[in-house]
Amino acid sequence: MKKVTIGLFGFGVVGEGIYQVLSEKQALNASIKKVVIKHPEKSRNAPAELFTTDADEVLHDDAIDLIVELIDDAEAAYTIVTNAMRNGKSVISANKKMIAEHHLELIQISRDHQVSFLYEAAVCGSVPIIRNLEEYFDNDLLISVEGIVNGSTNFILCKMLQEGEDYANALHHAQVSGFAESNPHLDVEGIDAAYKLSIIGLHAFGKQIDVGEILRKGITSLHPFDFQYAKEKDYVIKLIAKATVNEHGELDTLSVLPTFVSRSGIFGQTNNEYNGVVVGSVLADEQFFYGKGAGRFPTSSAVLSDISAYTYQYKYGYKKGLTPFRPNYDRTGRYYIACDKALAVDRALFDEIDEEFINHDRSYIIGKIRQKNLLLNGILNNPQISIISLN
């Protein structure tokens, strides 16, 4: 195990937690030499001499061999990470947007400069999904990866279903509990989950995935009527990220959608800020990974795990390849689509209709729809229409 000297970017709740753990627990054999901050006037629980506003002071310090990047700004994070690796420093990052948008480029830079680039904390908080996909499932034939990968939306949905809170109150509850950002757009619109699914897809299937190719709808269009329907059918609503392969073993479907799941099933029992991911494979059938996905300590746990892995010179192998993904939107799925009676659900969307309902103010149709029809009609972006998968 090598002694690690760290340059840290960002000293929010996660950064401060990392600093405190490394200061108190010497077993990790790692220490922080310098922390780059944006606002030097803020009071912080660490010695003043630890901080700097000059990124170059850290990036060009030969004594620092590992950069831990924990900032919100994806563009700034990209500059930090690429400069660090080009200066021969390994990197740990929690910035899923930056990683998803520049994944192959960042991998190539890390290879060119023979450094580690680790990012477990960018995906599922404390759930070690990336390293398991890399190591345990490296030679298995995977057929699907699906799950709850955003703790913020899961917390909100639980409050709406279990406690009858409306969306605004549930969101506020998540924010004051530290599980949602002051600007929750990336979480509640499913964008954060799409970034994570893109990263997972590369490690699970060896495919470079453009986030824009993921079939996506968030939770902001959900209506109290939808939750009432779920209760009547003994369902719960979860935001599920899903990647599946076809009968030829080719990845062909990627989605992030509100989904009806059984109340007694594993996703139905994954509540509040917790994440749960099921990996399906030819040999091992299904395996379930579960843990906290939002909040200070789960992210800190994943970052510390990457620091520990780096002390043993760990690198991702990407053994399944790095090839472009070509989406197939011809696949048919079963969906519940609901809206106000005055708007009306377009029956032409459906290849088959299983169930219809209309009352004085709300209507829905359940049936089979080709994914391309969801895209072509623009209803995924319509805030007045609920779309919930039953797949």
Q: What is the pLDDT of residues 40-55, one digit of tens each?
A: 888 898 999 999 999 9
Under 8 Å between Cβ of 207 and 325: yes
Mind listing the pLDDT tens digit for each residue in 316-328? 999 899 999 988 8
Under 8 Å between Cβ of 222 and 258: yes
Say if residue 276's pLDDT is above 90: yes
- Mean pLDDT of the chain, nearest integer: 92
Q: Distance between CA atoms of 289 and 280, rounded to whole angstroms?
A: 11
Q: Tell me what pLDDT residue 27 has.
A: 65
Q: Distance between CA atoms of 244 and 200, rounded to whole angstroms?
A: 12
Q: Tell me what pLDDT residue 296 has.
A: 75
196 is known as an active-site residue: yes
* Total length of the chain: 391
Q: Distance between CA atoms of 61 and 40, rounded to whole angstroms?
A: 20
Mind listing the pLDDT tens digit for each residue in 16-25? 989 988 888 7
Mind listing the pLDDT tens digit for each residue in 56-108? 999 999 999 999 999 989 999 999 999 999 999 999 999 999 999 999 999 99
Q: Distance between CA atoms of 106 and 110, rounded to whole angstroms?
A: 6
The closest alpha carbon to 6, from 49, 53, 65, belongs to 65
Q: Tell me what pLDDT residue 91 has.
A: 98
% residues pLDDT > 70 (the chain): 98
First-to-last CA distance in the chain? 46
Mind listing the pLDDT tens digit for each residue in 121-151? 999 988 999 999 998 887 668 999 999 999 9
Q: Tell me what pLDDT residue 370 has.
A: 94
Under 8 Å between Cβ of 117 and 85: yes
Spatial neighbors of 256 by CB under 8 A, at least 6 apart, are 190, 193, 194, 197, 214, 215, 216, 217, 218, 239, 240, 241, 242
Q: What is the mean pLDDT of residues 355-371?
A: 92
**Percent helix, strand and coil across the chain, each rounded to 5?**
35, 30, 35
pLDDT band at 250 (very low <50, low <70, confident <90, very high): confident
Say if residue 214's pLDDT is above 90: yes
Catalytic residue among 196, 207, 242, 320: 196
State pTM to two decimals: 0.95
Q: What is the mean pLDDT of residues 240-262?
A: 93
% residues pLDDT > 90 (the chain): 71
**Pick from 206-215, 284-293, 342-351: least confident:** 342-351
Phi, psi of 64, rounded to the nearest 5 degrees = -95, 125
Q: What is the mean pLDDT of residues 291-296?
A: 80
User: Bigger pLDDT: 315 or 327?
Assistant: 315
Under 8 Å between Cβ of 365 and 346: no
Q: Provide the 3-class DSSP secondary structure of residue 251.
A: strand
Could you tell me if residue 380 is left (phi over 0), alpha (psi between -120 and 50 degrees) or otherwise beta? alpha
Say if residue 1's pLDDT is above 70: no
pLDDT band at 338 (very low <50, low <70, confident <90, very high): very high
Say if residue 180's pLDDT is above 80: no
pLDDT band at 308 (very low <50, low <70, confident <90, very high): very high
Q: What is the mean pLDDT of residues 360-377?
A: 91
The closest alpha carbon to 302, from 90, 86, 68, 67, belongs to 68
**Pick from 224-238, 282-296, 346-360: least confident:** 282-296
Our measurement of the distance from residue 58's CA atom to the centroid of its chain's CA atoms, rounded to an integer in Å, reads 29
Say if residue 181's pLDDT is above 80: no
